Structure 1
Amino acid sequence: MTDNALKALADNGVSVWLDDLSRERIETGNLQELIDLGVVGVTTNPSIFQAALAKGDRYDADLRSYAAAGDTVDDAVFKLTTEDVRNACDIFMPLYESTNGVDGRVSIEVDPRLAKDTTKTVEQAKQLAEAVGRENVLIKIPATVEGLPAISQVLAEGISVNVTLIFSLDRYRGVMNAFLTGLEQAREAGRDLSKIHSVASFFVSRVDTEIDKRLDALGTDEAKALKGKAGVANARLAYQAYEEVFATPRWRNLADDGANAQRPLWASTGVKDPAYPDTLYVTELVAPNTVNTMPEKTLDAVRDHGEVTGDEVTGAYADAGGVLDALEGLGISYADVTALLEREGVSKFEDAWGELLDEAQRDLDLARADVEQDGK
């Protein structure tokens, strides 16, 4: 590990993951280069896969094969994405083994169109885990109301889970409860709890984007003074909730049987407002036993000029609570904002999935035409 800022994050208990994956990164050795710098995991989502598929021709041979086999677009996307994740898992396997399964992780998301369907989410989570076929895969399940029981059921099967799209503290507590329930069910089924890992992806920058918009509409000096503070405050209070839950007798009982705590993961860490420091959601959220998953632009900024000064979270709970109280005092409803962000988050991932399917369908049609031409 050569980058001082990335090393400083690791020394302070933060695992640096990259929020991106493509076949190009895998095949050119770029992913291994990032690992050598200190990146210890990868997250993906539908937007990431759509961008990867749209760029270059590295998927063409597989698409021709799928076209010849008569695969549907859903079949093709499933095969392409699970292959990329499987290959990335293989690259990260030494890290997975050296960290006892904590890092060296690669996430893949269930079809976001299933976010409101518990049963189908569980079915696809199991299919994805089987298709990737690597211990270091994390299956991403959204933290919708319907997603909570799915999280428990998938963990109970011994499958490691990345819970995504968490915005509110209440929902985060529900996620942690679902995690503990899943581990309890896994233990009842005789599974090895030490093999099951999970992260809870708490979204940061989108909170500021929405709340700043409402603060701008108010336009008062008091409102302006709160801009850019809600996302970090919300995440810090999430960490406080994490500390509370993972100090309970219920958790200690599971830990005594070898269970691993579900780590908070800071997601949506790319700064949207250029007025803010581009490392804001990294340097201000340093805390032990956390993950920060960054788009490459944020990762580069941290490597270039990130200043890591230690734990910025555990001593800041009172100030964080004050920020949220002040927002409520201005008439900005926390419950309304976080509910809106969840709805928008699911919708955005559904839209991105649709774009991924459209892109794959176009490529599949072209490949099918080539196959038919070759057969003449």
Structure 2
Amino acid sequence: MTNETPTAKLSAAGVSIWLDDLTRARLNSGSLAKLIEEKNVVGVTTNPSIFEAAITKSDDYKAELKDFSAQGVNAEDAVFEITTADVAAGCELFAPVADATKGVDGRVSIEVDPRKAWDTEGTIAEAKRLYAKVNKKNVYIKIPATQEGLAAITATIAEGISVNVTLIFSLERYRAVVNAFLSGLEQAKANGHKLADIHSVASFFVSRVDTEIDKRLDAIGTDEAKALKGRAGVANARLAYQVFEEIFSSERWGLLADAGALPQRPLWASTGVKDPAYPDTLYVTGLVAANVVNTMPEKTLDATFDHGVVTGDTIAGTYDESNALLNQLEGLGISYNDVVGLLESEGLEKFVASWKDLLNHVQDALDAAGKEA
């Protein structure tokens, strides 16, 4: 593998490339291993939508579902067994990467049942159950950054379990997420856990911010409004990196770092471009900095590998400009708090809907297999 490809340059600039997809076909065909070898992929993220597509749009799980049907397994337990098995296999594939990076990369994420996003205790219990079932050191348990999820993040970290915090849209919520992480580390230390073994990322969503704000800019329709399209997502993420730099240079963090803790890295999620008018690598090349993760759908990964222009850090020195942009949007009557609140609500609704669709499809498959027996 050459060091001159755009993905190699991205990695050299401090960006860990993770694939936003996992299927049994990828694992069994060797295509995921090929992405590790050729395109610098060092981790994988999953979510309910990804599993819904993987299980319902292929025959890879047909035999397993037939066995489950014969055993009288219900849809929820079947989904639990299938998804944890795929994630465990992914963790095995990425184990050499995890070993080489001391657990920083080589990670595979699995999300708690999204229906528990508003249930703190339910999320904690589900996180522990998933962690025990996958039983791999390099698994990440994904917990949505709802208000109720913050305490669950702290409690899960306190147990020594590594966490991927997902569905972050606002700077205020991101600060709360980092605080929950630090509180968890402080409790983990008191509980006797080795802090160097606990890892975390904070998944900050990018493209969906532009989708919602662009819609509002189009409704305004002025030249000033149109000139701001496609810029808010990157600006918001850049300001999140400013928060990251601020908190992880604080005295509170220094005490934890001295005890062996590693920072919670920002992860750029939702990096596939939704508007074809924008460059297809917009949310990759515009968010290059040290100590971040970019989790990409394969289409975005391929575009980056093919023609991404990576010239080094594209975040440093942008904070004043990014703040000014958000202020311009407020001046046009576009409420930042309204946008991010709506996006969190819609994001959770989509994940819950995907999860319910998955359960329904699996139940249909179990019923069909039972009739064939």
Q: TM-score range by the shorter chain?
A: over 0.9
- Establish whether residue 263 from structure 1 lines up as the match of residue 265 from structure 2: yes
**In the TM superposition, what is the alpha-carbon distance from 1:56 to its structure 2 partner?**
2.4
Q: Which amino acid aligns with 1:9?
A: L
Q: Distance in 1 between matches of 2:58 and 2:346?
A: 30
**In the TM superposition, what is the alpha-carbon distance from 1:362 to its structure 2 partner?**
1.4
* Corresponding residue number in structure 2 for 1:243: 245
- Establish whether residue 35 from structure 1 lines up as the match of residue 12 from structure 2: no
* Corresponding residue number in structure 1 for 2:9: 8
Q: What SS does the aligned partner of 2:59 have?
A: coil
RMSD: 0.8
Q: Distance in 2 between matches of 1:370 and 1:188?
A: 55
Q: Distance in 1 between matches of 2:26 and 2:197?
A: 28
**In the TM superposition, what is the alpha-carbon distance from 1:55 to its structure 2 partner?**
2.5
Q: Which amino acid aligns with 2:359?
A: L
1:230-262: per-residue Cα shift (whole Å, max 9, x none)? 000000000000000000010010000100100
* Corresponding residue number in structure 1 for 2:352: 350
More off after superposition, 362-371 vs 225-234: 362-371
* Corresponding residue number in structure 2 for 1:146: 148
Q: Distance in 1 between matches of 2:156 and 2:296?
A: 26
- Establish whether residue 340 from structure 1 lines up as the match of residue 342 from structure 2: yes
Q: What SS does the aligned partner of 2:110 have?
A: strand
**In the TM superposition, what is the alpha-carbon distance from 1:365 to its structure 2 partner?**
1.2
Which structure 1 segments of 5+ residues have no match?
Answer: 372-376
**In the TM superposition, what is the alpha-carbon distance from 1:370 to its structure 2 partner?**
2.4
- Out of 84, 89, 92, the residue aligned to residue 91 of structure 2 is 89
The list of structure 1 runs, each at least 4 consecutive aligned residues, that deviate by more than 3 angstroms after superposition, is none
* Corresponding residue number in structure 2 for 1:293: 295
TM-score by length of 2: 0.98
More off after superposition, 156-165 vs 356-365: 356-365
Aligned length in residues:
371
* Corresponding residue number in structure 1 for 2:330: 328
- Out of 283, 286, 303, the residue aligned to residue 305 of structure 2 is 303
Q: What SS does the aligned partner of 1:175 have?
A: helix
Structure 1 residues 48-127: aligned runs within 5 Å: 48-127=50-129
* Corresponding residue number in structure 2 for 1:21: 22
- Out of 154, 157, 166, the residue aligned to residue 155 of structure 1 is 157
Q: Distance in 2 between matches of 1:217 and 1:177?
A: 37
Q: Distance in 2 between matches of 1:340 and 1:154?
A: 27
TM-score by length of 1: 0.98
Identity level (%): 64
* Corresponding residue number in structure 2 for 1:176: 178
Q: Distance in 1 between matches of 2:88 and 2:326?
A: 41
Q: Distance in 1 between matches of 2:53 and 2:199?
A: 28
Q: Distance in 1 between matches of 2:370 and 2:261?
A: 48
Q: Distance in 2 between matches of 1:281 and 1:194?
A: 30
**In the TM superposition, what is the alpha-carbon distance from 1:79 to its structure 2 partner?**
0.3
1:263-317: per-residue Cα shift (whole Å, max 9, x none)? 0000000000000000000000001000000000100100111000110002111
Q: Which amino acid aligns with 2:313?
A: D
Q: Distance in 2 between matches of 1:368 and 1:162?
A: 37
Q: Distance in 2 between matches of 1:365 and 1:143?
A: 35
1:152-181: per-residue Cα shift (whole Å, max 9, x none)? 000001100000000000000000000000
Q: Distance in 2 between matches of 1:234 and 1:248?
A: 22
